Homo-oligomer: A and B are copies of this chain.
Amino acid sequence: MALIVKKFGGSSVANAERVNNVANIITDEYRKGNDVIVVVSAQGDTTDELIEKANEINPNGVSKREMDVLLTAGEQISIALLAMAVEKLGFPVISLLGWQAGFETDANHTVARIKKINTERLKAELAKKNIIIVAGFQGINKYDDITTLGRGGSDTSAVAIAAAMNADRCQIYTDVDGVYSADPRKVTSAVKMDEITYDEMLELATLGAQVLNNRSVEMAKKYNVELEVLSSLEKKKGTIVKEKVKMEKTLIRGVAKDENVSCISIIGLKDAPGVAFKIFNILAQKKVNIDMILQSVGRDGTKDISFTVSFSQSPDAVRALDGLKDRFEVKAISVNDETAKVSIVGAGMQSHPGIASKMFEALYDANVNIQMIATSEIKLSVLIEQKSADKAVQAIHDAFIN
């Protein structure tokens, strides 16, 4: 007998038919004699609809505490409906809200971090042979207030339960059937991977592959929870995410594209010691996350600094920099939202020379201009113009995979 944690996203429970489908998957597992804990997100577009309701009341931004009260109603609805569907099939089942399932978080509303899971109730319900349906994305802080883990938080909820309960496997059901070497909707030759390492998956998640939430992969790595990404609509094996995988002939595991990127350039900055440090320090104080950085020599002893941030943080970054203009004699600050980051990821690439030149050659052949380059041990990213992104992914994928 094993303990299996299964997580289903919003599209997997979007309507009654889908809910019934998920109930079948769950009860098939239970029928094998396994204990089953299920984590669910809000149905389909519920979260967006609730956000819209809040915007109607106050378009200028509402209290984060109340936003958490509002949004967690979404998962509350889906756990009840899924429990009803399981019950209809004749199985013992109970739904639990985040706080009932023991999720204790810090007090950072809308982006709370799990502090611990009090597993008492989960264990008691498993002892009663109940299938447990847990509301993902939500917890409670020490003031007894409802918190949420941020978008994609249901993945994190599932991994946290798997870690706390020492589950045998954590299965993340989604609308794709695994992790591909590129977005299969865009690159027809993309291949599904049987296995991928946590680190590779982390890079791919960060890079916009959008299969798994990043924090959930970090947590899985930290607690060594084996993940499986698979489809809720098709019965087939997915992709296993774990610490070490079998060596395969392809060094490059995937090609990812991220269009949620703004490139900000500070032009004609007077060259003095510590200027770059001061600029990035101000951005850090404003909690702006910098990704790629390019520094180049400008005219007349000045220099230019360009860096990328996520599209949503771009206004914050520009506001923070505006105050700098006088302090540092800056000629201009420009923002380019029409950019995309394309990356290749592979755990073995560090020890293989020639990967970079092969990537750049593929881009050159496809007539794509490279604006910035960034590297890490297991990835290589380039910033290019957004409209060439799909073409670039296809060209790189053709060069490395197949």
Contact = CB atoms under 8 A, between A and B. Distances in A.
A58 interface: yes
Interface stretch (A24-32, A48-56, A268-276, A377-385): A48-56
B83 A69 contact: yes
A87 B62 contact: yes
A16 B19 CA distance: 30
A73 B73 CA distance: 5
Interface in A99-153: 100, 121, 144-146
Q: Assembly of this chain: how many copies?
A: 2
A95 interface: yes
B70 A87 contact: no
A84 B97 contact: no
Interface string A67-88: 1011011101101110111011
A63 interface: yes
Contacts of A19: 57
B16 A57 contact: yes
A349 to B, nearest CB: 47
Interface in A330-382: none
Contacts of A57: 16, 19-20, 81, 84-85, 88
A63 B77 contact: no
Given A70-B77, A76-B69, A81-B70, A88 B144 contact: no
Contacts of A329: none
A66 interface: yes
Contacts of A58: 84-85, 87-88
Contacts of A85: 57-58
Contacts of A79: 69
Contacts of A81: 53-54, 57, 70
A56 to B, nearest CB: 4
A63 B133 CA distance: 14
A81 B84 CA distance: 28
Contact of A70 (B60, B67, B76, B88): B76
Contacts of A88: 57-58, 60, 62
A319 to B, nearest CB: 22
Interface in A9-53: 16, 19-20, 50, 53
Contact of A73 (B54, B67, B77, B87): B77
A46 to B, nearest CB: 10
Given A16-B53, A72-B76, A84 B66 contact: yes
Contacts of A94: 65
Nearest to A100: B144
A20 to B, nearest CB: 7
Q: Which residue, A81, A94, A144, A146, has most C-beta atoms of chain B within 10 A?
A: A81
A83 B66 contact: yes
A66 B54 contact: no
Contacts of A63: 83-84, 87
Given A16-B57, A58-B85, A62-B87, A73 B70 contact: no
A105 to B, nearest CB: 16
Contacts of A72: 76
Interface of A: 16, 19-20, 50, 53-54, 56-58, 60, 62-63, 65-67, 69-70, 72-74, 76-77, 79-81, 83-85, 87-88, 94-95, 97, 100, 121, 144-146
22 contacts: A20-B57, A53-B81, A57-B81, A57-B84, A57-B85, A57-B88, A58-B84, A63-B84, A66-B80, A66-B83, A66-B84, A66-B87, A67-B80, A69-B79, A69-B80, A70-B76, A70-B84, A73-B76, A73-B80, A76-B76, A100-B144, A100-B145
Q: Which 6 pairs between the two chains have the least Cβ-Cβ distance?
A: A70-B80, A16-B56, A69-B80, A73-B73, A73-B76, A62-B84
